[in-house]
Amino acid sequence: MYIPVIAFLLLQSLLATVSAQPPNLTVALDGTGDYRSITKAVGAIPNNSPNLFRMYIKAGVYNENVVIPAKKRIIILSRDVMDKTKIVSTRSWKISGHGIGESVIFIVNNASPEGEQVVALRMAGNFIAGLRCSIEGFQDTLYANHGSCHFFYNCDIFGTIDFVFSVASLVIQNSIIHVR
């Protein structure tokens, strides 16, 4: 009962603090940022850093398979407007880092429901949180594979069957789970 409240308060506090700070780097398809690709921007984040790192993603449709490895820690991903910034993939968006926060991220897995099972968002780190995110897939949309304290607040999660599953601790609060 207390863990979701504490996690929510920490997430809100962290995102409010970070929102007031300029990003460490910006991703923009039109070339107005530091990188045109989220994957290349993730590569630029220092490994095992004890400092918070903020990545700002400008509006656009990013067609790429994003992986945030375990050595990338304490990251906040934020973006412009939810329905104008999408990360689209036919494979899993994988987060293994610790202390990752996502604010208004829109992840779409466009693998066909008739094809192979593909997880839209796979989490394997600790303290991964999402605030005002949209995660779309079919089967196996959201998978908390390993780690602890995954928290999603005010999110939309779309899928068909068996699409939210976890072996880690996962709290989804004040969110809508849409069955396709």
Q: Which of 80, 83, 140, 156 is catalytic?
A: 140
Q: Is 83 a catalytic residue?
A: no
Q: What is the 3-state secondary structure (H, E, C) of the chain?
A: CHHHHHHHHHHHHHHHHHHCCCCCEEECCCCCCCECCHHHHHHHCCCCCCCCEEEEECCEEEECCCEECCCCCCEEEEECCHHHEEEEECCCEEECCCCEEEECCEEEECCCCCCCCCCCEEECCCCEEEECCEEECCCCCEEECCCCCEEEECCEEEECCCCEEECCCEEEECCEEEEC
- Mark whether 30 is an active-site residue: no
Catalogue the active-site residues: 140, 162
